[in-house]
A and B are shown apart, each in its own frame.
Chain A
Amino acid sequence: MNALFGYGEYAVSLLTIGGIYAVMALGLNLQWGYGGLFNAGVSGFFAVGAYASAILTAPPMPGHIVGFGLPVIVGIASAMALSAVVGWFVGRICLRLQADYLAMATIGIAEILRLVIDNEIWLTNGSRGIVAIPRPFEDLPGVWRDLAYLGLIAAIVAALYIALERLARSPWGRVMRAIRDNEAAAAAVGKDVASFRLQAFVLGSMAMGLSGALTAHAFKFIGPDATLPLITTFLVWVMLIAGGSANNGGAILGPLLIWTLWSATELVTGRLPPEWQIRGSYLRVFLIGLLLQVVLQRFPRGLLPERPPRPPDGNGMELSARHD
């Protein structure tokens, strides 16, 4: 019975983190899947959200600016707003240019934010991180605490999924796809390419900021290690591409599957003798990188490939069929 209970708790934590990754992947899907924008600095937007919410909601810390003790909802809303501002700033500079530049600039923002987090101790408490971040429902007894938080995450993922599905099927989503597939043609019919891209980039950044805030509240702690590119940027890219980009279902399935895989392999390496444990953990990273390559080469469309919305009547069927 106890073992069963343990597995249950493990499953709850797995789903909670998997769900947070799904929020991140849904945001990335908006940028990459629908917009074709390569954001290689997901960890930066994640960090902005995580630290914004943590600083606003944590209890005051003497000698630091950290800790305003504000309600969690204020923290989460500010996290999303601030990531949107950063996304707008990066997007304004780089979206006019081609993909490689955006990748480099987003990596740059993420790396510089990491420097800020490590060095500006008055703001972020440096490498010690921010502790005692409040968590919603933490007054509930026992298991209910974790289950309620999982419920919150699930509700957020569901709401995001519904909103993004509607967005993807709206005229806005069709324009985004048109820009992704043929920028010149979209511009030729009078679509403001730069403005649409900026909108997709800012909305995606908001979702990444939200996932950062949710992580900070889930662990009640945020430190510089949580913003390492491996844990956020790389993993979420593998998740989205494996799940299927430009498919919001794939952006949820991918994170749940890959996170389960990632955690399960950690259990395996955890059982190795100590001298192999460290090597095993690097092997895991290597295999995740290899998985990305295999998916890119063999299954570029992912587990759930893109399904472009059908036009309402029979006209234009041939067109949408060609899209595959």
Chain B
Amino acid sequence: MTDRWVTKQFRRIRIESGEMSVLYFFGRLNLIIVLMVYAVNLSEGYFEGWHRWLLGINLVPLMLVTFWTLETVKYLWRRKKRKEDGKPLVAAWDERDTLIFYKALACGFAVAWFFLVLGIGWYAMYFCLSRPELLTANAISFIIRLDVSVLVLFFSLSVVLQKHGEEKLDG
């Protein structure tokens, strides 16, 4: 019974607090970081002189941990300040976020598993058959690191898409 009259009346009610939910925030943040790292890796030739380790896929966990730590500190500080000012605390995570989180995780794991199998298969075929001496622990480690970045990428993409649809409902 959501008739047009009620909908029309509600358009004039001001929506308080435009704060992003924690899951959406981290989803977007992760996506930006991973895409940035991919872009840097793809244009590696332009960044000669930089330490190779920084340009490698190792940048993903480094940046994620740095941003997550900074944001967690910021969140805790703001929460403390809200408490001190006597303002009500706003929920940062609820049952719907848990649902979205698990859905996104399932999506991320499915794609990451596919890439892991594909990556190991490709390495096995390319190196074991033609140049067996080159199959190193380093190569396996690279596949796993790349796979983690794929997991984060698809997990974040799924979160952002689900949450974006929700934001659109807001009008």
Instruction: Indicate, yes or no, whether A interacts with B.
Output: no
